[in-house]
């Protein structure tokens, strides 16, 4: 059974071999650029990991795995425009390197390219694979719209936020797991456990990302640290601080999150101080552990012996610094 790193190498090698239309270089150069940047490849690797629990024939699942990764990167091109993000994986975002229109159109092309790979499965399961993929894809869009709406929504609850990241981030991870199991011929109950593992580990992953956005290092995180504070994103950290802080501090937080400044360094530092003084790191880690444990429960119900790759991946999630 191949390790996470070995599977990631296979994904990278396959991505490098994709040949795009030579006479549309201006359209495909941004795609080649974003796909070439160093990435964890979590979604396609988890698809292959789920598949190899039940089948040694990884080639049957390789094309859909590539399709999932192309789709994920398509969403990043558009998300970065909406978030006005300048850095992705330590490099300029596509709209910064080119322009907004190019990023939008190249992203559209990536969506189409993703379908070319997703449909490369046995005809007997094609409809089922597409149903899982399409459902996840539309939920990603719903999640992104909710994330945008929260910027102008005065009262966002923690449960609303968790549902948003479930759709925006976790569902695609869950769908990857389910598709991997489906291609391997697993039964519906097993696919449900694979999906639930992916969903809960995905929520835990995004909560960790939220934490690293504030308290990580730009050199290892690969994105602008404090970006969520700068753009007034109502993450779990912010919402939990509102819940546990006194009235005076709540007013301060709301004031910080209602302004956009040219110089955000002081704003970021002030918000970080509030988070630290109210133990928001601990609160966030407790919630991460909750969803990690839910994922482990579903993993236990998957009736195969060798699940070491999943235990290793899940444990690293709790300790990751990037």
Output the pLDDT for position 219. 58
pLDDT digits (tens, 9 = 90+) for 111-156: 999 999 999 999 999 999 999 999 999 999 999 999 999 988 989 9
pLDDT at 322 over 60: no
pLDDT tens figures, 230-283: 889 999 999 999 999 999 999 999 999 988 877 789 999 999 999 999 999 999
Instruction: Report the distance separating Cα 88 and Cα 86, nearest Å.
Output: 7
The tokens for 44 are: 């396609």
Query: pLDDT class for 86, splitting at 50, 70, 90?
Result: confident
Nearest CA-CA partner of 48 in 7, 103, 104: 7
Per-residue burial over 11-26, b if 16 or more Cβ lie within 10 Å, else e, is bbebbeeeeeeeeeee
CA angle 281, 279, 225 (to 5 degrees): 40
Percent helix, strand, coil in the chain, to 5, is 75, 0, 25
Contact between 41 and 11 under an 8 Å Cβ cutoff? The reply is: yes
Q: Residue 224 pLDDT more than 70?
A: no
Task: Please write the tens of the pLDDT for every residue from 173-200.
Answer: 999 999 999 999 999 999 999 999 999 9
- The token duo for 124 is 């007997």
Task: Give CA–CA dist 253/251, Å, rounded.
Answer: 5
Domain 4-319 sits in CATH at: 1.10.600.10
Rounded to 5°, angle at Cα 35 from 174 and 166: 25
How many Å apart are CA 210 and CA 216, to the nearest integer? 9
* Confidence at residue 317, expressed as pLDDT on a 0 to 100 scale: 77
Angle, alpha carbons 60-65-67 (nearest 5°): 115
Longest Cα–Cα distance of the chain, Å, equals: 61
Domain boundaries defined on the chain:
4-319
Q: How far apart are CA 275 and CA 236, in angstroms?
A: 11
């Amino acid at each position: 059974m191949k390790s996470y790193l070995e599977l990631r190498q296979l994904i990278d090698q396959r991505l490098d071999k994709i040949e795009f239309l030579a006479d549309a270089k201006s359209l495909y150069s941004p795609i080649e650029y974003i796909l070439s940047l160093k990435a964890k490849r979590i979604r396609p690797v988890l698809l292959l990991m789920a598949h190899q629990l039940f089948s040694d024939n990884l080639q049957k699942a390789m094309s859909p795995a590539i399709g999932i990764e192309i789709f994920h990167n398509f969403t990043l091109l558009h998300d970065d425009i909406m978030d006005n993000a300048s850095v992705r994986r330590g490099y300029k975002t596509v709209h910064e390197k080119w322009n907004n229109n190019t990023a939008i159109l190249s992203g559209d092309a990536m969506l189409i390219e993703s379908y070319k790979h997703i449909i490369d499965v046995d005809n007997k399961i094609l409809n089922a694979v597409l149903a899982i993929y399409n459902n996840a894809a539309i939920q990603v869009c719903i999640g992104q719209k909710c994330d945008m709406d929260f910027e102008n929504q005065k009262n966002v609850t923690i449960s609303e936020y968790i549902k948003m990241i479930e759709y925006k981030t976790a569902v695609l991870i869950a769908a990857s797991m389910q598709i991997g199991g489906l291609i391997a011929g697993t039964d519906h109950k097993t696919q449900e456990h694979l999906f639930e593992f992916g969903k809960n580990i995905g929520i835990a992953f995004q909560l960790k990302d939220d934490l690293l956005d504030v308290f990580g290092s730009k050199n290892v995180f690969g994105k602008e640290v404090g970006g969520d504070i700068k753009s007034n994103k109502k993450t779990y950290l912010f919402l939990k601080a509102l819940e546990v802080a006194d009235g005076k501090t709540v007013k301060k937080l709301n004031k910080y999150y209602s302004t956009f400044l040219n110089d955000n360094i002081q704003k970021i530092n002030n918000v970080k101080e509030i988070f630290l003084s109210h133990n928001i790191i601990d609160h966030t880690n407790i919630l991460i552990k909750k969803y990690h444990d839910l994922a482990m429960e579903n993993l236990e119900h998957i009736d195969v012996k060798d699940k070491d790759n999943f235990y290793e991946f899940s444990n690293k999630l709790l300790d990751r610094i990037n």
